[in-house]
Amino acid sequence: MGSGPEPRPNRISFVNPSPSSTLSPKANSDLFDQSALSDLAQRLVEAARRAGADAADAVAVRGVSQGVEVRDGRVEESERSEGDDVGLRVLVGQRQAVVSTNDVSGDAVTKLAERAVAMARVAPSDKYVGLADPALLARDFPDLDLLDPDVPATAELERRALEAEAAALAVKGVTKSGGASASAGIGGMVLVTSTGFHGSYLRSSQGISATAISGEGTGMERDYDFTSAPHGADLLSPEIVGRSAGERTVARYNPRKVETCKVPVVFDPRVAGSLVGHVVGAINGASIARKTSFLKDKLGQQLFAKNIRIIDDPLRKRGLRSQTFDAEGVAVKQTALIDEGVLTTWLLDCATARELGLATTGHAHRGVSSSPSPGPYNLHLEAGTPTPAELIADIKQGFYVTDLIGSGVNGVTGDYSRGASGFWIENGEITYPVSEVTIAGHLFEIFKSMQPANNLEFRYGINAPTVRIEGLTLGGR
């Protein structure tokens, strides 16, 4: 559960395991030492050049994770995974190929490089492919404090999950547990290019979640809460997560239906980030180049009120998606995607930038088996001035959304329609629960009327305060 992709690895440093960690000191030192991955990526690039590539880059990814799931006071599942993967991208003229493997024993490096070059030679020509301009490559790698030096033991993960579940079950009205979990992991990546770039990341991630159920049979309701962060110290406590899951569930019990109407709609912070996601999806350079975005002609135009700013910040300390360079080695920076309501930029990697006649914005992302493509980092909608209570105080009848269902948003036309549940607003107060409704409108109108409250918190990959939107159609009975 959560908003946005899983946290990405970040810059390498070295850590010590907690005394109770299930990882041995040697296992930890092996995991945290990325020199072997760096050597492997360098050998892949050199092998590709020997095999006839004009240019190449290699990514080597290492990850370890462990997680525990509990239900009814017992551990249901405990799992651990660990592995290395490598990907090689080669360019022969204007032809490109990407190959990946997790087997680099023996002469696998040479064979992988030869296979990649052979594939590139028969690939379609693409005049936009190529490595990043060396002048754009990152030179400085600030410490973003993304690695927790304490690796939690399996016993500690069990404790967190059991405590979260117990807190959920202790809420009056909760009838059963939907389960709870706790996890921890470390991810690392190395990027080497034939133009001389060599960078590496290492980051940790920890999380706790709980789900609670109220009612019985067809009258059951469920809800959840969760917390995630690179550092364990930044997590909400298991007790807070569990209690929140229970209280959210009980509040949803015995929902009513409402008549179809057009009313102000207020988005809870947990779902308000989805509106930011729709903005960012529509300004992705790949969609702009394909002309499949409803914002394709709106660069530099006023789309929101002047108090609206949407920020992408890859350099936020302890951020879930922070990193110091992109998947092509390009330096990254904080960017106001929407500034005083105006759309300022597209999200671009090198290929989409060339296609659009622009410069990359340092937004390339990549897996080991894919070529780079644009994507965001840590996103947030800046807070406004009213409190959430003030934001709804003048609403005679309206809808407060706590959950969205489905993905009925058309990125080509901007039409918006999603299933939702939440609470009815009456005379400025949140009253009874409502379920099985649809909220519909157009993203242009949604953007124009967006009003943020002052309660912004940084908990997810996309963060937003409570947000009010005027005049959406609520489809009920």
Q: Does position 6 have pLDDT exceeding 60, yes or no?
A: no
Instruction: Classify residue 423: in a domain, yes or no.
Output: yes
At 28 the pLDDT is: 56
| Full-model pTM | 0.91
At 149 the pLDDT is: 85
- Confidence band for 14, pLDDT divided at 50, 70 and 90: very low
Instruction: Classify residue 20: in a domain, yes or no.
Output: no
Instruction: Classify residue 133: in a domain, yes or no.
Output: yes
pLDDT > 90: what percent of the chain? 85
Instruction: Classify residue 320: in a domain, yes or no.
Output: yes
| Number of domains within the chain | 2
At 13 the pLDDT is: 27
- Confidence band for 391, pLDDT divided at 50, 70 and 90: very high
Q: What is the chain's mean pLDDT, rounded?
A: 91
Convert the chain into a string of H (helix), E (strand) and C (coil): CCCCCCCCCCECCCCCCCCCCCCCHHHHHHHHCCHHHHHHHHHHHHHHHHCCCCEEEEEEEEEEEEEEEEECCEEEEEEEEEEEEEEEEEEECCEEEEEEECCCCCCHHHHHHHHHHHHHHCCCECCCCCCCCHHHECCCCCCCCCCCCCCCCHHHHHHHHHHHHHHHHCCCCEEEEEEEEEEEEEEEEEEEECCCCEEEEEEEEEEEEEEEEECCHHHCEEEEEEEEECCHHHCCCHHHHHHHHHHHHHHCCCCECCCCEEEEEEECHHHHHHHHHHHHHHCEHHHHHHCCCCCCCCCCCECCCCCCCEEECCCCCCCCCCCCECCCCEECCCEEEEECCEECCCECCHHHHHHHCCCCCCCEECCCCCCCEECCCCEEECCCCCCHHHHHCCCCEEEEEEEEECCCECCCCCEEEEEEEEEEEECCEEEEEEEEEEEEEEHHHHHHHCEECCCCCCCCCEECCCEEEEEEEEECC
Give yes or no: residues 146 and 194 share one domain: yes
Domain finish residue from 224, 250, 276? 250
Instruction: Classify residue 453: in a domain, yes or no.
Output: yes
Residues 365-379: tens digit of each pLDDT: 998 999 999 999 999
Q: Does position 16 have pLDDT exceeding 50, yes or no?
A: no
Range of the domain at 158: 34-250
Domain finish residue from 250, 283, 311? 250
Q: Does position 29 have pLDDT exceeding 90, yes or no?
A: no
Residues 157-180: tens digit of each pLDDT: 999 999 999 999 999 999 999 999
